[in-house]
Amino acid sequence: MAAGLVTPVTGDRLALSWQWSEFYPACNALYEQIQRISLAHFWHVAPAWRVFQSDAERERFFQRWWSEEGKLEMGQQGIALEPMSEEQLQPFHAPGGGFSMWPAGRLDTRAYLDATAKYFRSRNRWFPIHLDLEQDLKFTPDDVRVQRLGLQSRMMVLCQGISARTNHWFHALPLHPARGDILELASDTLIPAVAHHAAWVVPLQATNEANDQPRRGRILLGATYDRNCLDTSIEHPNALGFRRELLQRWNSMMALADGRLGLDDTLTSESSDSESSHRRDRFEGEVLAHVAAVRPASYDRHPLIGPHPTQPNLFCLNGLGSKGSLMAPHLANLLLDCMLENQKIESQLHWRRRDESSRRSHDSKRREST
């Protein structure tokens, strides 16, 4: 479900994305390599826009990144940030302006997964099957076996997202999941670039409408972030609220009325069913799809990788939260170094870092008391 956005400057603080200099070269190299191998196209590198949401945010940008020190730091990282005026940021409502950032990218995650699945299927290395990890995995001192498939390997990596909480091996992962909703909209408004505003918006290719209507643009709009509703249904009242939230954000982003969706702000949960249905008809026709998934975030927003404490041939790669497309390739490299070269996983990435931190704190207090 992920939109696959990769950006160097993120968040309200306009901070450089954590360990960008390690993560971005790895993801760019891997996706380009897989495109060449698979003859598919799913990795799009292009400048992304950021619209300032307040005067304070605008001031923060100029003080942090438009100073001589900020420009030098960006240059050392190979990143270009350029201020943009309200006129340059059309069609968005951007009275305070914004900036463009490069390199930035978008991984079309569905196309990427389709291409990699096709590649492994052609080599008989793709096995879509629901495993019962309690019953189907058998461990020996030298290998791990999936008996139902007749497979054995020196090592296995579990990449399960929030499902890891239900298995015996990694249920203790310190996950702090969050649901995210994304809409696909039909729009006549031309969106020139991936843009981060009150929401992010991704332009997709145009589509032919039925009955020989003019071609309309398709966009992705997202994403919500909710830690209370952790299912993926798009039908219950919470999901309808998330959809409405995104549509309201879209309307607030548009500079001109003809780019908006006719969303009636007076619609409330207290409206009658017939009234609600009538008003929703004014804008729901623009919604082509609504999808939701649950991000496997961690409590400190850092990834969770490393070996199982008692099964040395079992590993996990998890906790990538909202930045899986950026971080996964480099994390996989680090995990392979651990598996094949016995390299240690650095503490800020190791999935048991909270246990280790608690142990060190306990040992320090014990030493102080003695």
The pLDDT of residue 363: 47
The pLDDT of residue 217: 86
Q: Using alpha carbons only, what angle is made at residue 153 by residues 149 and 159, rounded to the nearest 5 degrees?
A: 80
Rounded to whole angstroms, how far apart are CA atoms 164 and 319?
10
Chain centroid to Cα 107, Å, comes to: 10
Which tens digits make up the pLDDT trace of 306-321?
A: 999 999 999 999 999 9
The pLDDT of residue 205: 66
Cα–Cα distances (Å) from 208 to 205, 215, 218, in that order, read: 10, 5, 10
**Confidence tier at 216 by pLDDT (50, 70, 90):** low
The pLDDT of residue 160: 95
In the predicted structure, residue 226 carries a pLDDT above the cut 90: yes
Rounded to whole angstroms, how far apart are CA atoms 6 and 103?
9
The pLDDT of residue 354: 82
Half-sphere exposure of 255 (CA within 13 A, CB side): 16
Which tens digits make up the pLDDT trace of 280-294?
A: 444 555 899 999 999
| Crossing angle of the two packed helices 68-77 and 55-65, in degrees rounded to 10 | 70
**Confidence tier at 274 by pLDDT (50, 70, 90):** very low
In the predicted structure, residue 166 carries a pLDDT above the cut 80: yes
Instruction: Name the pairing type of β-strands 178-187 and 216-222.
Output: antiparallel
The pLDDT of residue 368: 56
Q: Helix or strand or coil: residue 257?
A: helix
The pLDDT of residue 286: 86
Q: Helix or strand or coil: residue 123?
A: coil
Specify whether the CB–CB gap between 161 and 173 falls below 8 A. Answer: no
CA dihedral sign, ordered 250, 243, 177, 46: negative
The pLDDT of residue 362: 40
What tokens appear for 272 in the block? 């009658």
Q: What is the mean pLDDT of residues 162-180?
A: 94
Lowest average pLDDT, out of 112-116, 181-185, 360-364, goes to 360-364
pTM: 0.87
**Confidence tier at 367 by pLDDT (50, 70, 90):** low
CATH 3.30.9 domain span(s) along the chain: 178-295
Which tens digits make up the pLDDT trace of 38-58?
A: 999 999 999 999 999 999 999
Pick the CATH number of 178-295 from 1.10.1740, 3.30.9, 3.40.1000, 3.40.50: 3.30.9
Q: What is the mean pLDDT of residues 190-198?
A: 95
Q: How many residues does the chain have?
A: 370
Specify whether the CB–CB gap between 91 and 217 falls below 8 A. Answer: no
Closest Cα to residue 238, out of 228, 247, 223? 228
DSSP 344: P
What tokens appear for 330 in the block? 């480099």
